[in-house]
Amino acid sequence: MIPQDTHLQIGSLLFEGLDQIDLTGPFEVLSRIPNSTYRIFAKTAQPVRDVRGLWLTPDANLADAPQLDVLHVPGGSGQEALMDDDEVLGWIRQQAAGARYVFSVCTGALICGAAGLLKGRPATTHWAAFHLLPFCGAIPVNDRVVVDKSLVFAAGVTAGIDGALRVAAELRGDEVAQAIQLYMQYAPEPPFNSGTPETAHPAVLDAARHSVRAITAQREQTAGRVAARLGIAVPPGAAA
Q: Which residues are catalytic?
A: 106
Residue (67 or 193) nearer to its own copies, CB? 193
Report if residue 57 touches its own copies, rule: CB under 8 A.
Answer: yes
- Rounded Cα–Cα distance for residues 44 and 67 (Å): 18
Please, what is the minimum distance in Å from the beta carbon of residue 94 to its own copies?
Answer: 25
From 77-85, 91-99, 208-216, 220-228, give the range in contact with its own copies by CB under 8 A.
Answer: 208-216
From 92-100, 115-123, 200-208, 223-231, give the range in contact with its own copies by CB under 8 A.
Answer: 200-208
- Rounded Cα–Cα distance for residues 181 and 202 (Å): 33
Report if residue 142 touches its own copies, rule: CB under 8 A.
Answer: no
From 28-36, 95-103, 131-139, 230-238, give the range in contact with its own copies by CB under 8 A.
Answer: 28-36
Residue 13, beta-bridge partner list: 41
Report if residue 52 touches its own copies, rule: CB under 8 A.
Answer: yes
- Rounded Cα–Cα distance for residues 21 and 226 (Å): 26
Residues that bind its own copies (CB under 8 A): 19-21, 24-25, 27-28, 31-32, 38, 40, 47, 52-57, 106, 126-127, 144-145, 155-159, 161-162, 165-166, 169, 174-175, 177-179, 181-197, 199-201, 203-205, 207-208, 211-212
